[in-house]
Amino acid sequence: MTIQNHFPYVNNKMFAENVALHDIAEQVGTPFYCYSNTAIAENFQHYQQAFSDQEVLICYAIKANSNQAVLTTLAKLGSGADVVSEGEIRRARAAGISAAKIVYSGVAKSASEIEYALSEGIFQFNVESEPELKLISQIATRLEKVAAIAFRINPDVCANTHEKISTGKAENKFGVPISQAKIAYRRAAELPGIKVQGVDVHIGSQLTELAPFEEAYKRIAQLVTELKEDGHDIQVIDIGGGLGITYDNEVIPPKTHYAAIAKTQLGHLNCKIVIEPGRSLLGNAGILVSRVVFVKTGEERQFLILDAGMNDLVRPSMYEAHHEILAVNKANAAMKTYDVVGPVCETGDTFAKARSVNICQSGDLIAIMSSGAYGAVMASTYNTRMLAPEVMVKDNEYAIIRHRPSYEEVINADAVPNWV
């Protein structure tokens, strides 16, 4: 069972903190994303506590959920940001995250993005290749700036996660192979406009065990020792993100154990530790609320057809991801087995097959759990469906933090040339 403490049932009706989801649905319409501000803050504070005896910079991986209200919540708690585009740098800065707390990851940073990051004065570029390093050096030299860099090291460990979110094997596109790291650092130290400051590793997402982290950090510790012997002043070790969440029945090691492994493997190196959690801060702090449009009886199955689709939450069709599906009103305790599907014209638009849910009727509200990370940010307007609005709840208050666009906004974003 998913653990989403801030979405409790009260008298058989699901709440977000102290607000009934029914009330939000009445005002906002469905589908909508709903986030618990308290859950986000608690998740962040658990990381702070777990690393409290270590110099740490928590850089929220904002690609998991980049709504400005989410970023502002985390910025006020002291979070930095792990970004993967100029757009995300701009979002982080707009939310009040200082440039000195921004690390910039990504395999394809463009010249104009690098220039923007340098002009802002970010904390660190996590460099993924030698061509990228050369480009950063050229641009920094031209602007008379110095880029602080870490190489993202591919430690060649298997993260035991879904192949689409595994990044630390030798065959993945990410980072510099650990076998070539020392040469890469030697070259970097000779380039103008570059300050070698750190080592970075991120092996994948939704990891449910600590052993792959431990193995990766062990290899990184060895590398840092060797780099120091080579005369590099390594001050930062960025250990990436990737700690998983419970979607179904995964047992996730506590953040304190995760921190203990990092400290055991890396603590003696006297470096500042950067962590880049995304999913583990937001995933179970959010849900997607949808309405049953029709209950359809097929020849072999019963279908619950929702007003949310794969364009709103793509994880089930993209990663075969499991999300718990709960009736918002559980007053009728009888259960039934349904295929839960969306309205999009694709067979892949399926949230769950043969899932037991409280018996539903057209018009009932459904909560798709654990949708706070990689949900709204991956949504599209496929089938000209309006992006689902996002709502944040705190105690007994709630606010729309991204509105549902009007049809006019969406249609008028296109332009028809006069020669058509």
C-alpha to C-alpha distance for 264 and 213, rounded to whole angstroms: 12
C-beta of 174: minimal distance to ligand PLP in Å? 8
202 is an interface residue for ligand PLP by CB under 6 A: yes
Q: Residues 34, 158, 271, 345: which is the catalytic one?
A: 345
> What is the helix (H) or strand (E) element at residue 68, kind and residue range?
helix 68-76
Is 17 near ligand PLP (CB under 6 A)? no
- 339: CB partners within 8 A, 6+ apart: 301, 302, 303, 304, 350, 352, 353, 354, 355
Least distance between ligand PLP and beta carbon 213 (Å) = 12
Q: Does residue 240 touch ligand PLP according to CB under 6 A? A: yes
Nearer to ligand PLP, 173 or 353 (CB): 173
Closest by alpha carbon to 7, among 121, 129, 351, 15? 15
Question: Judged by CB, which is closer to ligand PLP: 314, or 357?
Answer: 314
Q: Which residue matches tokens 């179904």?
A: 248
Instruction: Verify binding: residue 309, ligand PLP, rule CB under 6 A.
Output: no
Q: HSE (CB half, 13 Å, CA atoms) of 240?
A: 30
For helices 255-266 and 211-229, give the axis angle rounded to 10 degrees.
Answer: 30
Site map (CB under 6 A) of ligand PLP, residues 99-128, x = contact: ------x-----------------------
Considering only residues 80, 278, 309, 316, which one is a binding residue for ligand PLP as defined by CB under 6 A? 278
3-state SS assignment for residue 354: strand
Tokens 């930062």 sit on residue: 236
Q: Does residue 168 interact with ligand PLP by CB under 6 A? A: no
The verdict on 277 binding ligand PLP (CB under 6 A) reads: yes
Binding footprint of ligand PLP, residue count (CB under 6 A): 15
Question: 226 Cβ partners below 8 Å, 6+ apart?
Answer: 182
Residue 88 makes contact with ligand PLP by CB under 6 A: no
CA 118 – CA 194 distance, rounded (Å): 11
Figure out which of the listed residues 79, 280, 290, 317 binds ligand PLP, where binding follows CB under 6 A: 280
Choices 93-101, 191-199, 276-284, 386-394; region in contact with ligand PLP by CB under 6 A: 276-284
345 is catalytic: yes
Q: How far is the CB of 117 from ligand PLP (least distance, A)?
A: 15
Q: What is the Cα Rg of the chain in Å?
A: 23
Beta carbons of 374 and 279 less than 8 angstroms apart: yes
Per CB under 6 A, the list member of 212, 241, 316, 342 interacting with ligand PLP is: 241
What count of Cα atoms within 13 Å lies in the side-chain half-sphere of residue 287? 30
Q: Find the binder of ligand PLP among 205, 290, 329, 358 (CB under 6 A).
A: 205
389 is a contact residue toward ligand PLP (CB under 6 A): no
Catalytic residues: 345
Can you give the binding site for ligand PLP, defined by CB under 6 A?
A: 61, 63-64, 82, 105, 202, 205, 240-242, 276-280
